[in-house]
Amino acid sequence: MKLVLKLAVLAVIFLPLQTVLAFDPDYILSNEELQDSQAMDLNQIQAFLERGYLADYRAEDHTGRMRDAAYIIWKAAQDHSINPKFILVLLQKEQSLVEDEDPTQKQLDWATGYAVCDDCSMDDPAIERWKGFGKQVNSAPLQFSEGYLQDIDLYGVAAGKYGPGITVTIDGELVTPLNAATAAMYAYTPHLHGNENFVDIWNGWFGREYPSGSLLQAVGEDGVWLVEHGYRRPITSASALASRFNPDLIIPVSATVLEQFPIGNPISFPNYSLLRDETGRISLLVDDSLRHITSMEAFRAIGFSEDELVSVSSEDTESYTDGEPITLESSHPQGQLLKLPNSDTVFYVIDGERHSIFDTSILNARFPGVIPTPVEPVEVEQYAESSPLNLPDGYLVRSATEPAVYVISDGQLRLITSESAFLGYGYKWENVQVVPEFVLGLHDLGEALADIAE
């Protein structure tokens, strides 16, 4: 049974190849990250504050008790289910307090800018009750959790006009917040510059370098990108996405996150496409290589037909490398799955070699929906034994006996060091596959994937 995917390249190219904006005003922060109160523990907050005055600062909290700044921040995050990273960035955005080594008393008294509107004075007696570091650090998260987010949940808007999917004019520009967190940010800071500062600080402190194999999609856009070796490769057709990747693993991110990666070569055709260029040369696309079919006799002997050919230009093929040519002597250049009777082991046969597939998790990940062909042992034994197949990049896995979760990247297991790191990268628990311990053992152990604050 051939594994050539007979997917016609869709007429609609759903990703325009263009540079994204450095700051996306429609999407500032995910809802999950805003409300991830466990993103940093007390010790991590204290360590983070060592860069400035707040490391040794003590003040009254909102109840009047003397506390360390780190504790005040941590307690506000826990009490109001708000990310302590968010509070740290807010302190820096509003008063530069995290990195300032000698702040003024006014900076400390109005630490998060709470209750201080653009036209208000910090000396206004009407806002005196919110003055003080402890009150400020408690009030801002409270405003988000029990004010803006609750109002959006109940009424669809915060501060009377900011809500997901609702277009408003901010600083002369039309802005449509794509989620509740972004809408709440504008309710708190109703102008672009302040929120752009927030994003710059957030990315500078907590930005993430997604591992190879990650599928990223800017919130509000259709295009999907593959992160590979430090580049983002645009996947420019739905058929290419469906034939090569698991769409369930797409991670929504801001356009700003995408901007950190330079643009690489596009992925425009389904795997195992038959491409005919302007010279009439016919090739089989296998991942990122073009395998030239040396003759029409070889073409027909393998079982291809001319109605499978896709005409392409030289520009379409220039980013691919040249693979091993396909001749009359080539054996299963497009791959075949074989299964022995009364055995769970499946073999992937390609170019005269057999690769064992030891578990259904690998089979389903690499060849979803493909049913192996039953054969006798003598047919399998004619192919030279090669390395077994492992899980593809981007997959999230753990064993049945241990809670540790890994992401596959460049064929390696990368331990995700904490729940905070897992959620911070945009992973979803329902996408974690439970696999036998020996399947994990098929992969080398790579560098751990930690949260930047850890």
pLDDT at 431 over 60: yes
Question: What is the predicted pLDDT for the residue at 453?
Answer: 55
pLDDT band for 227, please (50, 70, 90 cuts): very high
**Average pLDDT of the segment spanning 328-332:** 79
Q: How much of the chain, in percent, has pLDDT values that exceed 70?
A: 93
Which of 111-115, 262-266, 437-441 bottoms out in mean pLDDT, i.e. has the lowest? Answer: 262-266
pLDDT band for 121, please (50, 70, 90 cuts): low
**Average pLDDT of the segment spanning 425-448:** 93
Question: What is the predicted pLDDT for the residue at 21?
Answer: 37
pLDDT band for 64, please (50, 70, 90 cuts): very high
Q: What is the pTM of this model?
A: 0.64
Question: What is the predicted pLDDT for the residue at 122?
Answer: 67
pLDDT at 273 over 60: yes
**Average pLDDT of the segment spanning 207-231:** 88
3-state SS record for the chain: CCCCCCCCCCCCCCCCCCCCCCCCCCCCCCHHHHCCCCCCCHHHHHHHHCCCHHHHCEEEECCCCEEEHHHHHHHHHHHHCCCHHHHHHHHHHHHCCCCCCCCCHHHHHCCCCCCCCCCCCCCCHHHHHHCCHHHHHHHHHHHHHHHHHHHHHHHCCECCCECCCCCEEECCEEECCCCHHHHHHHHHCCCHHHHHHHHHHHHHHHCCCCCCCCEEEECCCCCEEEEECCEEEEECCHHHHHHHCCHHHEEEECHHHHHCCCECCCECCCCCCEEECCCCCEEEEECCEEEEECCHHHHHHHCCCHHHEEECCHHHHCCCEECCCECCCCCCCCCEEEECCCCCCEEEEECCEEEEECCHHHHHHHCCCCCCEECCHHHHHCCEECCCCCCCCCCEEEECCCCCCEEEECCEEEEECCHHHHHHCCCCHHHEEEECHHHHCCCEECCCECCCCC
Q: Which of 30-44, 115-129, 176-190, 259-273 has the highest mean pLDDT?
A: 176-190
Question: What is the predicted pLDDT for the residue at 10?
Answer: 31
Question: What is the predicted pLDDT for the residue at 119?
Answer: 64
